[in-house]
Amino acid sequence: MGSLFAGTLGFIAILTILIASVIGALILWLLAKTVGKISNANFLNSWMVVLASSGVYAVIIYLIGVNLLSMGLGASLIINALLMSAAYIIFGKLIWKCSWMESFKANIILIAINLAYSAYTASLFS
């Protein structure tokens, strides 16, 4: 019975991550086309930017091995902002094959949305 429960939770977690990544990719695709003026941006490569950035971000946080909130809310938000910004901008440039400034302009609004949500969520626990 326990493995069935764990399997169901794992499935729900994967489904939630996929749904959230699709929503993020839709937002990023619109931003890349309108704000970043990236001509070759489409939904699939925007989704790849979201998945690659999130994956690398998760691996880096895991490798650091530190509970960011133990460093304080301010420090955790700063580290979160730096890592997330670097991942999104670098993968945006690589996948879209655009300039650094185009990738920055396309990603900055999504990064701000993610940081605002992170700050709100973190403040609920402190």
Cα Rg, the chain, nearest whole Å: 16
CB atoms within 10 A of CB 76: 19
Q: What's residue 29's pLDDT?
A: 95
**C-alpha to C-alpha distance for 105 and 35, rounded to whole angstroms:** 6
DSSP secondary-structure letter at 31? H
Instruction: Name every residue whose Cβ is closer than 8 Å to that of residue 28 and which is 6 or more positions away in sequence.
Output: 46, 49, 50, 106, 107, 110
Q: pLDDT of the chain along its 126 residues, tens only?
A: 567 666 788 788 889 989 999 999 999 999 999 998 999 999 999 999 999 999 998 898 888 766 766 777 778 788 888 999 999 999 999 999 999 999 999 999 988 988 888 888 877 876
Whole-number pLDDT of residue 66? 66
Q: What token pair was written down for 76? A: 């955790």
Residue 37: per-residue pLDDT: 92
pLDDT at position 74 is 77
Cβ-contact 31, 98 below 8 angstroms: no
- pLDDT, residue 124, reads 82
